[in-house]
Amino acid sequence: MAEIKIPYPQNVLAVVASLRACMAAVVWLDGEAGGRYSIIAADPQEQLVTKHSGTWLHRAQTRTFLGDGDPLALLQTRLDATAPPALAHSSSLPFHGGAIGYFGYELGRRLQGQMPSLGDGPDMAVGLYHWAFVIDHQQQQAWLVGDVPEAAIACLREPLSTNAASWQPNGPVSVSPEFIGYARAFNRVMEYLYAGDCYQINLSRRFTAPFRGDPLGVYADFRQRAGGPFAAYFELPGGPILSGSPERFLQLRDGVVETRPIKGTRARLADPRADAAVAQALVNSAKDQAENTMIVDLLRNDLGRGCVTGSVEVPYLHQLESFATVHHLVSVVTGELSPHMKATDLLRDTLPGGSITGAPKWRAMEIIDELEGGPRGVYCGAMGYIGWDGSMDTNIAIRTLTAHAGYLDYRAGGGIVVDSRCHDEFAETESKAAAFRDLIEHTGNQSCIESA
């Protein structure tokens, strides 16, 4: 398959906008803010869309029902059927073609044997892409890889007008629940914790706002406020989906698995000394370390289901990572995938991620469903790629919003343990939603993209 080095783009956003202007189903795994690679693709050969109990194959103008079986098994079948005969196995680039898409929280519930809540959008939407534009931000190099169509090359050469991404908020942020409702749910969580049902339960709140205009313009502004190393912009069924995720869920490369759970959060402060003090307090917090350790143990168990016995390790525990609006405690868990396992098997064993469910996962998910009272959708699922070469990299879809029917939908949550305090946990959700509130309340009337 082709691997053609091309000039490093100075404006990746403009590249995406140019490509989107003439090709469908654009996807952008955006690693510009602290990651290493960005991966851009469009015009997939086919799409797999799972909604409720069925999966459909979309190809050209046709739509075929694939059945009500395991969506990841169906995806693996399509990956096997469409893989080209020759892959660049020796290349250092992360992606040469394969599946790019999202795997929603409700898909995770189904895979874990629970009845998913029925939402309006798909539980899984994945495109099979035969080519991609891969950008290495560390080395400032770029490549076109795979079977690149002439239409894509032509699109990337076209200039873009500066008003292509204009948008406007069309009303204030609405939140559910507000503090009284959150406190009621928090107290119920505490009852479950003291009864011994769980050690930790993640509870989230929903933030929505009306808007008009271009979702890519929304993302252009959002990524400046909340862009993380595992950010993404997808124009797939159920979207567009705009993610500023700071958290890696699963990376698989050369048989090595890595997950980077986040647990422990403090809001950033404007004063550098005060901000440093807040960060140090987070590092020293016994409560946050305990929460993080619980999730690390959960993920060690999840990875152990598909990894070689004895290979699961924790090279980093409770490390501080700082982002635009928050500080986080991050750990790293690794393992060696068993030879008979594939990326889809690993995803099946672990979705949804433990950092956004709780421990034990099964019971925490039941309680989340009871108290939140509706589907989470893409939020707390995963977004990323599964390559034809067997590699995978996905995020935890937090700091993530969808743009649909004139509304932006965003959610923020946090893990609750027995020594949590309601006001502190509520404030943590506000810290995690600060970028979204700022996006709606302080964005100018127009967002512009300059030509590449």
Q: Are 135 and 38 in contact (CB under 8 A)?
A: yes
Tokens of 167: 């948008």
CB 401 within 8 A of CB 408: yes
Q: Which one of the listed residues 51, 106, 235, 247 is annotated catalytic?
A: 247
Distance from first CA to last CA of the chain, Å, rounded?
27
450 counts as catalytic? no
CA dihedral 13, 166, 222, 381 (to 10 degrees): -80
Q: Is 247 tagged catalytic?
A: yes
Q: Can you give the length of the chain in residues? A: 452
Is the four-CA dihedral 103, 226, 392, 413 of positive or negative sign?
negative
- How far is Cα of residue 4 from the mean position of the Cα atoms in its chain? 28
Phi/psi-derived region of residue 235, left when phi > 0, alpha when psi is between -120 and 50, beta in every other case = beta
For residue 339 the two structure tokens come to: 């030879």
Does residue 122 have a cis bond before it (omega within 30 degrees)?
A: no
Which of 442, 16, 398, 432 shows the shortest CA–CA distance to 217? 16
Please choose, from the candidates 44, 353, 76, 402, the residue with its C-alpha nearest in 3D space to the C-alpha of residue 241: 402
Closest CA to 51 of 61, 37, 65: 65
Peptide bond into 352 cis (omega under 30): yes
Say whether the peptide bond before residue 177 is cis (omega within 30 degrees of 0).
Answer: yes
What single DSSP character describes residue 40?
A: E
Give CA–CA dist 265/424, Å, rounded. 11
**HSE toward the beta carbon, residue 276, CA cutoff 13 A:** 2
Compute how many other C-beta atoms are within 10 angstroms of the C-beta atom of residue 269.
Answer: 14
Beta strands 262-267 and 326-336 are antiparallel
DSSP state, residue 322: E
Helix/strand/coil for 416? strand
Catalytic residue among 51, 235, 263, 342: 263
Write out the DSSP string of 50-65.
Answer: EETTEEEEEETTEEEE
Read off the tokens for 270. 């404007």
**Cβ neighbours, 10 Å, residue 366:** 16
Q: Which residues are catalytic?
A: 247, 263
